[in-house]
Structure 1
């Protein structure tokens, strides 16, 4: 553990002020080393209050692998990056390197963020959560859409609980707040060619955490927002990440977890007219149900279609 990490850990576990002299004595370091460590921590974004009696740690919105590991109740290998081209690719690389799941990759910035159908999405440094997790398939879940549905529920409920809002889920993998997108979720399966079975699951997401509304590109101003677009965050990104994964793993371990009911209750599309394309033909119908395997059931009047998340993207919802 580096000097900076030792000082940070000591500050976090001390409720009041702690003097530089006390830090130096307890950590067997010089006063100069303590001062330099404090400056390095502040440069990294940590909030440290200075007082005549010493230093005191203040909740800081800095992604911290140690804090995440301590907060997430399931053992997870955690990697925090300043920047990543794609955390999904980082998770895929973990498979090639033979790393044992679960592996969670979290980045402060994603340079080439992509969603479903390889669509780009907006990212802003230190203002979002960009993360992907590598999992081994659970015996209770045999299909990829189930992971996507479960993940959407965990994210929506975590946000609602910590921020005090009421999010909705747009089929199949977007979280909305006040009619605008705040989260995109992407799931990928890695198959065993010989047995044609699910070998690994990678779930990635981008969360607009504290992106100011004016920072979104003009074409996204009416479509996207962030949790704290016009106010100071009341929680840290670490706290939200921890809450999301604790809820996800809790649902994953429950054999009778009724996450589909929550998914349907929070649906942004059920009961509305939706427009989509299938085989180069455009359809419009009413979204009437979500199946047990996550398909969207649409009533076209003349027939009913079951839409799969892998083949269809809704182009309009009214």
Structure 2
């Protein structure tokens, strides 16, 4: 670990100011080495308050940082975290990692900006820097009965839980996985698989999420239906680092047993379409019906008995 990283780690896990001499003593460094490390961190964007006769104190300025994310995570959380300033897509990166023979999973990829972010059906996902949360989790798969719909619903619930616990905002879920706040979509989720060509088996899974966290503007074509958590995040003083950490906690709590569907009652409580007449698009086909339930596999149940495990709700009619 570099000197700069050592100093960052120490400041991250200390709530009170530390003098240069304290840092030097604890890490076995010279005062000059400490000073150079502090300047390097400040240049890199870390907010470190420096007060004479008081010391140095690190604050979460909102810049994405593995050290700060881990500050909000339990010490038992040891999965690797990779952060990029700019990347084409966190899902693409996670899939690249998934094709490496000895990559450890779960593996988390986070970006401050995506230049080629995408969602369901290959749609472009606008991913500006400094405002959004773009995160993908690479998972190993040993289940022959893997259900992507059930995992996707678990992801949407993990994000919903995080919003309600950390930001004190009410969130709803539009089937399958659109998270809605103030009647606008604030999050997109995409689950993808990596297959072994020889065995024809699904070996790894990538679950990606793009969250409009501090976003202020959207392209004209989506501005009427896209929303942001900015108001709630600023009111609650919750940084992207803290939100990401809490999402990871919620996700892995659900992921342990997601395949048994025991969380579906909670998912249904957050659904904004049960009891509503909806229009659903499935490729070239369009269906209309009243939603009577969402079953324990995450499938939509219509009043005429139709069961849909995939599709997109394009219109919801008021009750």
TM-score range, shorter chain: 0.7 to 0.9
Conserved in 2, the CA contact under 8 Å of 1:141 and 1:147? no
Residue of structure 1 equivalent to 2:286: 282
Match of 1:248 among 247, 251, 263: 251
Structure 1 alignment gaps of length 5 or more: none
Once the two structures are TM-superposed, the CA of residue 123 in structure 1 deviates from its matched residue by: 1.3
The answer to whether the Cα contact below 8 Å between 1:138 and 1:252 also exists between their aligned partners in 2 is no
In structure 2, distance between residues paired with 1:152 and 1:50: 41
Q: Residue 179 of structure 1 corresponds to which residue in structure 2?
A: 183
Superposed CA deviations along residues 1-50 of structure 1, whole A, max 9, x for unmatched, are 22221222222233322223433444344444333322332233322222
Aligned counterpart, 1:305: 306
Structure 1 residue matching 2:193: 3-state secondary structure:
strand
Distance 1:16 1:192, change over 3 A: closer
Retained in 1: the 8 A contact 2:189–2:208?
yes
Alignment map for 1:191-210 (pairs within 5 Å)? 191-193=195-197, 196-210=200-214
Aligned-CA RMSD value: 2.5
Please name the residue that 2:215 is paired with. 211
Give the conservation status (yes or no) of the 8 Å contact 1:7–1:37: yes
Q: What secondary structure, in the 3-state scheme, does the structure 2 residue paired with 1:33 have?
A: helix
Q: Secondary structure of 2:152's match?
A: helix
Residues 74/198 of structure 1: CA separation in 2 closer, same or farther (3 Å cut): farther
Aligned-residue offset at 1:288: 1.9
| Residue aligning to 2:299 | 295
**Alignment partner of 1:219: what SS?**
coil
1:18 aligned partner: 18
Aligned partner of 2:241 among 235, 238, 241 = 238
Q: How does 1:46-195 map to 2 (within 5 A)?
A: 46-53=46-53, 54-69=55-70, 71=73, 73-98=76-101, 99-137=103-141, 139=143, 142-193=146-197
Normalising by structure 2, report the TM-score: 0.87
Sort the Cα spacing of 1:24 and 1:8 in 2 relative to 1 into closer, same or farther, 3 A. same
Secondary structure class of the residue paired with 1:220: coil
Q: Which moved more, 1:168-177 or 1:1-10?
A: 1-10
Task: Confirm or deny: 8 A CA contact 1:80 1:106 kept in the other structure.
Answer: yes
Displacement of 1:241 after TM fit?
A: 1.7
TM-score, normalised with respect to structure 1: 0.88
- CA distance in structure 2 between the aligned counterparts of 1:192 and 1:229, rounded to whole angstroms: 44
Q: Displacement, 1:74?
A: 4.5
CA distance in 1 between counterparts of 2:248 and 2:107 reads 12
Contact 1:85 1:113 in 2 (8 A): yes
In structure 2, the residue matched to 1:225 is: 227
In 2, Cα distance between equivalents of 1:75 and 1:8:
18
Counterparts of 2:251 and 2:279 in 1: how far apart (Å)? 31
1:174 Cα deviation (Å)? 1.2
1:74–1:47 distance in 2 versus 1, CA, 3 Å: closer
| Range with greater deviation from structure 2 (103-112 or 249-258) | 249-258
Following TM superposition, by how much is the alpha carbon of 1:171 offset from its aligned partner in structure 2, in angstroms? 0.8
Distance 2:162 2:145 in 1: 21
Give the length in aligned residue pairs: 311
